[in-house]
A and B are shown apart, each in its own frame.
Chain A
């Protein structure tokens, strides 16, 4: 005797999503690994480059007034290079290895120039490094000048 049970009901479950999830996960992991993350670098931008000692970098245009120069000399604190640090000197700046003192000096000079009617964009700060001074100290002094509001900062050379 055949006993028939309730009619079997078939539910429409739709397409199987599991493989789609797997593929999407693989693509996601690929993008996470292939992208460049971390260690973002920044840039100190300059339009001045380098100035040769004893002269400006380019001929003046007719009627152009040369920029007011402000020189700061930078050297290693220890000439042998064994001890870290730099020493900076300038007109009115006694030899110092304190970056805050350099910043204060820059700010004071700028204020004096502004008071005399010289705008920030007409002052050219020239960093005169010694041959062996480390690049990172120059960046620190460069930054100090930027923080003081100078717009034109250049390196010099003895060539």
Chain B
């Protein structure tokens, strides 16, 4: 009778198939969650005021984020925004008068006409800046007839507490 030897035993090593399944799930998760390449042109260096009643925005379409920097050397804020894909410095004069030709008002008007009623201006302003500088921005927004204004804040307690 022919005896058959038992085949030699080989170690197959670690089975990596479940690991690949888990990694694939993680990739799909990050692809859906991460916002890659989506930029509003926001300046992360601006210290925002804190608020507890702020809401998240479902859709950032129809929005224009205006970075309002505190100008410590004058009365006019330093402004910049991502307009039509290009980062632009915008100017607003402290010598405001209704109907005057203000670059910021002009840009906001053109933008508002393109977006329609859903146009939403996001103001990202320095928490320590004096109101007299922010006032100029609000006046330009009023001149441009922007109906929706959102004040960007960071999640947190009141700044006075």
Contact = CB atoms under 8 A, between A and B. Distances in A.
A86 interface: yes
Contact of B54 (A43, A86, A137): A43
Interface stretch (A20-28, A60-68, A104-112, A114-122): A20-28
Interface string A116-159: 00000000000001111111111110110011000000010101
Interface string A66-92: 000000000000000000111000000
Contacts of B131: 129-135, 138, 155
B128 A134 contact: yes
Contacts of A132: 130-132
Interface in B1-19: 5, 7-8, 10, 12, 16-17, 19
Contacts of A48: 149
A44 B138 contact: no
Contact of A41 (B7, B125, B154): B154
Contact of A42 (B96, B154, B158, B161): B154
A46 B23 contact: no
A143 B26 contact: no
B36 A85 contact: no
Interface residues on B, range: 35 or more
Q: Which of A11, A18, A138 has the most chain B CB within a 10 Å cutoff?
A: A138
Given A42-B154, A135-B49, A139-B159, A35 B33 contact: yes
B133 to A, nearest CB: 9
A52 to B, nearest CB: 8
B52 A50 contact: no
Interface in B92-145: 96-97, 120, 122, 125-132, 134-135, 138-139, 141-142
Contact of B53 (A9, A37, A143, A157): A143
A81 B147 CA distance: 33
Contacts of B86: none
A6 interface: yes
Interface string B26-56: 1100110111101000001000111111111
A132 B132 CA distance: 6
Contact of B24 (A24, A85, A86): A24
Contacts of A28: 23, 26-27, 30
Interface in A1-56: 6, 9, 11, 13, 17-18, 20-21, 24-25, 27-28, 31-32, 34-37, 39-50
Given A20-B20, A157-B139, A99 B151 contact: no
Interface of B: 5, 7-8, 10, 12, 16-17, 19-20, 23-24, 26-27, 30-31, 33-36, 38, 44, 48-57, 96-97, 120, 122, 125-132, 134-135, 138-139, 141-142, 146-155, 158-161
Interface of A: 6, 9, 11, 13, 17-18, 20-21, 24-25, 27-28, 31-32, 34-37, 39-50, 57, 84-86, 97, 99, 129-140, 142-143, 146-147, 155, 157, 159
